[in-house]
Chains A and B, each alone.
Chain A
Amino acid sequence: MTIWTKMKPAFWDHEDVAAGPHKHLFNFRRIWRMSVILTAGVALAPLVFMTLVDYNVSQQAIEADIYYQTARLVSNTRRNITFFLAERRSALSFIDKDNAYSALGNPLRLAALLDNLKKGFGGFTDIGVINQNGLQHTYVGPYELAGVNYSDQEWFKEVVSSGTHISEVFLGFRQQPHLVIAVKHDLGGGSFYILRASIDTQQFNQVLAEVEVGGKGDIFLVNREGVLQTPSRFFSNILQPMALRVPEFSEKTTVLEVNFQKEPLIVGYAYIQDTPFILMAVKKKNELMKDWTETRIKLIGFLAVSITSILLVILWVSTYLVKQIYVADHKRVMTLHQVEYANKMASLGRLSAGVAHEINNPLAIINEKAGLIKDLFTLKRDYSDDPKLMGIVDAIVYSVERCSKITKRLLSFARHVDSKPQLVDIAEVVNEVLGFIVKEAEYRSITIQVEVAPDVPTIESDRGRLQEIFLNLINNSLAAMNASGSLTITIRRTKEGCIRASVADTGCGIPEADLKRIFEPFFSTKTCKGGTGLGLSITYGLIKELGGSIEVHSEVGKGTEFTVQLPVKMKPSEDIDNESAACG
């Protein structure tokens, strides 16, 4: 047996075949299903909806906040970098304007200026003056760069055309990463010179290193070809190409989401004006969303637990309620059946009485006429010895007797005489009845046992009916048994205070299909042996009249047990008709 068959409620497989066109009203499985679906829908839909809305809204809010913070970070850092470069360019420009070309050509003066720049602004490494041919004729700094010609370099050409220049970070002649700021000074008549200073990238990097980037993030500069200008934590070394794609040009600070190695990244960037630099801040989205995700997982876990408990409660409540409806309906159907059965019996009773009466008179005439024939022939010697004649008359009389047995039983079935209650000892009644059949039992070697519990009281009931009940039951048992069977009659008192008498035999038993019908009138399996099919239906009627009930348990081949339950005090028959029997 599977768990399902054990747990399955009784109504699950119920099918009301008698419900007719209103079958759907009694489809309990459907009622149960509707109840579960509707209740679950009403209870869970708002819950799930609210959770989804909250999930989306809070996710959007968190993402918006991340975008905003990234944009602010990039924007602020750009301002710092721009200021850093502009400050140094302005300083160089001021020196250029403040000093004559001849003064700048003096290495001592130039060294003093470099010293002031280092002290005043910091970050300057060296300074040099380059003539219009690209030759650095004066140089102050740690490298041997005096006399170097820059005329072929890109930056030189750009300064000549645009007047100022801030270079990318590059290695140059000194093989050290640095950047260069250069300003051009026109001397008139097409001649010019260039004041050029290199900036220590160390200090430049420092500016970015001090920036606090959340979410395991990174902030760095790249040039427009995507080569790293400052060290990056995750995207390769300085002067190496960056692993990410170079973002599109935008005048404003921009934040976008990109996927890098299947990981979503938040990238904020800004093109720094008048420089080759793009400032980029990169953050790992999952890191930033971690707190939110953890909270969501907890909430979803709570939701799952809630849904499970709600569903369990709904299942339990629906099953319980439908079970109650089923039980109530079952009782209703049982009552209907009982009423139907009682009506059927009453109709049959009236019919039986009518039939018996109609048949009895002609039967009586046949009986008397046959009797007379016999009498007449018995008196005349000529015929009294004729066995054939006597046989014929006897056959008529025998048949009349058989018919009369049927009509008498029919009448007995139909009889609804008001009972006269009197004090009766059931054991005594049983023994009286056994008196009639003890000879037959002995002859067939059937053993009879009567067990009476000591606490069985005398009851107020109808003696005649009790006799008939037990006579019918005991006769049935005897008829069901072959030789050497055993008949056991047990009488005891139940907890409810009723008397319970059972008549059990070791006979052939009753097939299950017949068990439901054995109390119906004219239902008989012994018709070939002269049974009328009225015995048990009469017994049933008598027991009901006494306010009791009868049950039968039978196993084919093992035997049958009839159990009669009777109240200690018989109710008047009107009460029995109106309400269910006390011990029924």
Chain B
Amino acid sequence: MKVLLVDDERELVSTLAERLNLRGLEAQWATSAEEAMLRLQTESFDIAVLDVKMPKVDGLLLKKQMQEKCPAMKFIFVTGHGSSQDFEAGSSEVGSNYYLVKPLKIDELIAKIKEALQR
């Protein structure tokens, strides 16, 4: 199970990736949309966990770009912000079930990842 985590908070995303790795998932991370797209050129992932609010290219746009490249890929959104627009846009893209608010619970995240992949 290969997971790509994208968040502009380096500390968060790197730690999260490490914890997922410790739990047997193959997790990699990127701190921007550009970096994430670069990784996609060399590797393929089953699922991406994207932060909605990111500088330059946000999570929603990144999801579209990634989907074009890998149509089979699944997505989970993560946000620290609960504004209505974010929620609307995020949940309409992936369903409110896969729209998580920070801080995350590691077990919950893993459960959601598994659930999304089984869909």
* Residues of chain A at the chain B interface (Cβ within 8 Å): 353, 356-357, 360-361, 363-369, 371-372, 375-376, 379, 400, 404, 408, 410-412, 414-418
Q: How far, in angstroms, from A360 to B9 measured CA to CA in the complex?
A: 12
Judge if B87 is at the interface, Cβ distance under 8 Å. Answer: yes
Evaluate contact between A367 and B18: CB separation under 8 angstroms: no
- Contact pick for A364, options B80, B82, B83, B84, CB 8 Å: B80
A356-B81 CB under 8 A given contacts A369-B11, A375-B22: yes
Residues of B within 8 A of A379 (CB): 22
Evaluate contact between A417 and B88: CB separation under 8 angstroms: yes
Judge if B25 is at the interface, Cβ distance under 8 Å. Answer: no
Residues of A within 8 A of B88 (CB): 417-418
Q: Which residue of B lies closest to A408 (CB)?
A: B101
Evaluate contact between B103 and A369: CB separation under 8 angstroms: no
Interface size on B, residues (CB 8 A): 21
Q: Which residue of B lies closest to A358 (CB)?
A: B80
Render B52-85 as a binary contact track against A, CB cut-off 8 A, 1 for contact: 0000000000000000000000000000111110
- Contact pick for A361, options B12, B19, B82, B87, CB 8 Å: B12
A364-B102 CB under 8 A given contacts A369-B11, A369-B15, A371-B19: yes
Evaluate contact between B19 and A372: CB separation under 8 angstroms: yes
- Contact pick for B84, options A375, A408, A415, CB 8 Å: A415
Residues of B within 8 A of A357 (CB): 80-82
Residues of B within 8 A of A356 (CB): 80-82
Report whether over half of chain A's contact residues are helix, strand or loop; otherwise say mixed.
helix
A353-B82 CB under 8 A given contacts A364-B9, A365-B9, A365-B12: yes
- Contact pick for A365, options B11, B18, B101, CB 8 Å: B11
Evaluate contact between A360 and B12: CB separation under 8 angstroms: no
Render B1-38 as a binary contact track against A, CB cut-off 8 A, 1 for contact: 00000000101100110110011000000000000000
Evaluate contact between A417 and B87: CB separation under 8 angstroms: yes
For the complex of A and B, the 4 pairs showing the least CB-CB separation, nearest first, are A411-B82, A360-B80, A367-B103, A368-B15
Q: Which residue of B lies closest to A367 (CB)?
A: B103
Residues of A within 8 A of B117 (CB): none
A-B contact pairs, 24 of them (CB 8 A): A353-B83, A357-B82, A360-B102, A360-B103, A361-B80, A363-B102, A363-B103, A364-B9, A364-B102, A364-B103, A364-B104, A365-B15, A367-B104, A368-B15, A368-B16, A368-B104, A371-B15, A372-B18, A376-B22, A379-B22, A404-B102, A411-B101, A415-B84, A418-B88
Evaluate contact between A415 and B82: CB separation under 8 angstroms: yes
Judge if B40 is at the interface, Cβ distance under 8 Å. Answer: no
Q: How far, in angstroms, from A365 to B14 measured CA to CA in the complex?
A: 10
Residues of A within 8 A of B22 (CB): 372, 375-376, 379
Evaluate contact between A416 and B84: CB separation under 8 angstroms: yes
Q: How far, in angstroms, from A356 to B87 measured CA to CA in the complex?
A: 15
Residues of A within 8 A of B87 (CB): 415, 417
Interface residues of B in 78-119 (CB under 8 A from A): 80-84, 87-88, 101-104, 106
Evaluate contact between A364 and B81: CB separation under 8 angstroms: no
Q: How far, in angstroms, from A412 to B84 measured CA to CA in the complex?
A: 10
Evaluate contact between B83 and A414: CB separation under 8 angstroms: yes
Q: How far, in angstroms, from A65 to B82 measured CA to CA in the complex?
A: 102
Q: A372-B19, A411-B82, A415-B84 are in contact. List 16 more A-B contacts (CB 8 A).
A: A353-B81, A353-B82, A356-B81, A360-B103, A363-B103, A364-B9, A364-B12, A364-B104, A367-B103, A368-B19, A368-B104, A372-B22, A408-B101, A410-B82, A417-B88, A418-B88
B56 to chain A, nearest CB (A): 17
Evaluate contact between A361 and B102: CB separation under 8 angstroms: yes
Residues of A within 8 A of B101 (CB): 360, 408, 411
Among A363, A410, A411, A414, chain B packs the most CB atoms within 10 A around the CB of A411
Q: Which residue of A lies closest to B18 (CB)?
A: A372
Q: How far, in angstroms, from A372 to B106 measured CA to CA in the complex?
A: 10
Q: How far, in angstroms, from A404 to B11 measured CA to CA in the complex?
A: 18
Q: Which residue of B lies closest to A350 (CB)?
A: B83
A361-B9 CB under 8 A given contacts A368-B19, A372-B19, A404-B103: yes
Q: How far, in angstroms, from A410 to B101 measured CA to CA in the complex?
A: 12
Residues of B within 8 A of A375 (CB): 18-19, 22-23
Q: How far, in angstroms, from A295 to B108 measured CA to CA in the complex?
A: 103
Evaluate contact between A417 and B12: CB separation under 8 angstroms: no
Evaluate contact between B103 and A372: CB separation under 8 angstroms: no
Residues of A within 8 A of B80 (CB): 356-357, 360-361, 364
Residues of A within 8 A of B104 (CB): 364, 367-368
- Contact pick for B106, options A363, A371, A410, A417, CB 8 Å: A371
Residues of A within 8 A of B84 (CB): 415-418
Q: How far, in angstroms, from A538 to B103 measured CA to CA in the complex?
A: 21
Residues of A within 8 A of B19 (CB): 368, 371-372, 375
Residues of B within 8 A of A372 (CB): 15, 18-19, 22
Q: How far, in angstroms, from A416 to B23 measured CA to CA in the complex?
A: 37
A401 to chain B, nearest CB (A): 8
Evaluate contact between A368 and B12: CB separation under 8 angstroms: yes
Q: How far, in angstroms, from A412 to B82 measured CA to CA in the complex?
A: 7
Residues of A within 8 A of B103 (CB): 360, 363-364, 366-368, 400, 404
Residues of B within 8 A of A417 (CB): 84, 87-88
Residues of A within 8 A of B81 (CB): 353, 356-357, 360, 411
Among B11, B83, B84, B88, chain A packs the most CB atoms within 10 A around the CB of B83
Residues of A within 8 A of B15 (CB): 365, 368-369, 371-372
Q: How far, in angstroms, from A368 to B80 measured CA to CA in the complex?
A: 14
B69 to chain A, nearest CB (A): 28
A259 to chain B, nearest CB (A): 99
Residues of A within 8 A of B18 (CB): 372, 375
Residues of B within 8 A of A364 (CB): 9, 12, 80, 102-104
Q: How far, in angstroms, from A558 to B88 measured CA to CA in the complex?
A: 43
Residues of A within 8 A of B102 (CB): 360-361, 363-364, 404
Q: How far, in angstroms, from A376 to B102 measured CA to CA in the complex?
A: 22
Q: Which residue of A lies closest to B10 (CB)?
A: A365
Among A353, A363, A368, A404, chain B packs the most CB atoms within 10 A around the CB of A368
A462 to chain B, nearest CB (A): 13
A234 to chain B, nearest CB (A): 109
Residues of B within 8 A of A400 (CB): 103
Evaluate contact between A414 and B12: CB separation under 8 angstroms: no
Residues of B within 8 A of A360 (CB): 80-81, 101-103
B15 to chain A, nearest CB (A): 4
